[in-house]
Amino acid sequence: MTSPSAHAVRQYASSTGRLTARMAIHAYGTNPQDWFSWLGERLPLAGRVLEVGAGTGELWRRVRHDGLELTLTDFSAAMCARLASVPGARVRRCVAGALPFVDGSFDTVVANHMLYHVDDPAAALRELARVLRPGGRIAVATNGLAHMTELRELGTRIGRPDLIAWRGFTAGNGPGLIAAAFSGVRVEEYPADLAVPSVAPILAYLGSMADEPLTEAQVAAVEGIVAERIAADGVFRVRKHTVLMTATR
Ligand SMILES: C[S@@+](CC[C@H](N)C(=O)[O-])C[C@H]1O[C@@H](n2cnc3c(N)ncnc32)[C@H](O)[C@@H]1O
């Protein structure tokens, strides 16, 4: 199965709101260069470029793409409606595991923070290889298991371990899965953590992850724990672990 996971359907199928709320916390990143700009500098951008699971298209709102033949896809109707406002992009609604493109259609394929939402990432990677021309490049970004450790611990402390549970495609197993369909896999880490100065962005992030909303008691518990940490350290620190993996078809 290469369809979106049940979690991805709940998170993204009918609204862009959860993704937008979740991305907002990265404004408190400790790297002065934001993730999209860092990623854009490293992408092999030439000719025909496909992004699968493109979400709201944030990458292409920040990275210049004039001169490219850019195709953006996502399984979610809500995301595709938003992608339609990316200047110069062609938008197709489809799942990453069954792309409506003939073999060798693209010079570069990007899968940014989306393969962990696919039931069978190995099969999806084979599909991405199929639509790349021989010698074409793939760029895949994902997180490691330690990503957002402090937020996961926060969830556990308030009795909501369901809020953050990374699984599937990670910085640990990603290179091996990519190597099964591509050659010359390279891994680069984006150096950044979060230094969050107040509780609101943390509650917004946790809320975006929750299928069941946080109760009043859980919100109060988060406020207490975060306030204590900020009083001691000045900020609430959160570890990030984000990697970019590139390879050749
Ligand atoms: C975490 S968001 C990342 C969005 C975008 N790539 C970014 O980094 O801003 C994951 C996106 O993948 C999409 N998605 C999840 N599973 C998918 C699948 N099997 N096929 C296509 N899109 C999928 C979701 O709808 C969502 O927009």
Summarize pLDDT for 47-76 with one digit per residue, the tens. Answer: 999 999 999 999 999 999 999 999 999 999
Whether residue 1 is predicted with pLDDT greater than 60 in this model: the reply is: no
Note the pLDDT of residue 4. 84
User: Does residue 224 lie in a domain region?
Assistant: no
Q: Which of 117, 126, 128, 138 to mutate to test the pocket of ligand 1 (most atoms within 8 A of CB)?
A: 117
Rounded to whole angstroms, how far apart are CA atoms 47 and 182? 20
| Amino acid at site 65 | H
pLDDT band at 205 (very low <50, low <70, confident <90, very high): very high
Do strands 242-248 and 132-143 pair parallel, antiparallel, or not at all (unpaired)?
A: antiparallel
The domain tally of the chain equals: 1
Instruction: Find residue 74's DSSP bridge partners.
Output: 93
Ligand 1 centre from 30 Cα, in Å? 25
> Token match 């298991």: residue?
145
Note the pLDDT of residue 10. 87
Note the pLDDT of residue 183. 98
CB of 50 closer than 6 angstroms to any ligand 1 atom: no
Q: What is the pTM of this model?
A: 0.96
User: Does residue 182 lie in a domain region?
Assistant: yes
User: Does residue 92 lie in a domain region?
Assistant: yes
Residue nearest to atom 27 of ligand 1 (CA): 55
User: Which CATH number fits the domain that encloses residue 69?
Assistant: 3.40.50.150
Summarize pLDDT for 86-102 with one digit per residue, the tens. Answer: 999 999 999 999 999 99
Whether residue 135 is predicted with pLDDT greater than 90 in this model: the reply is: yes
Ligand 1 centre from 217 Cα, in Å? 32
The SS3 of residue 171 is coil
Whether residue 165 is predicted with pLDDT greater than 90 in this model: the reply is: no
CB of 99 closer than 8 Å to CB of 3: no
User: Does residue 107 lie in a domain region?
Assistant: yes
Segments forming the whole domain that contains residue 92 = 6-146+165-192+241-248
User: Does residue 157 lie in a domain region?
Assistant: no
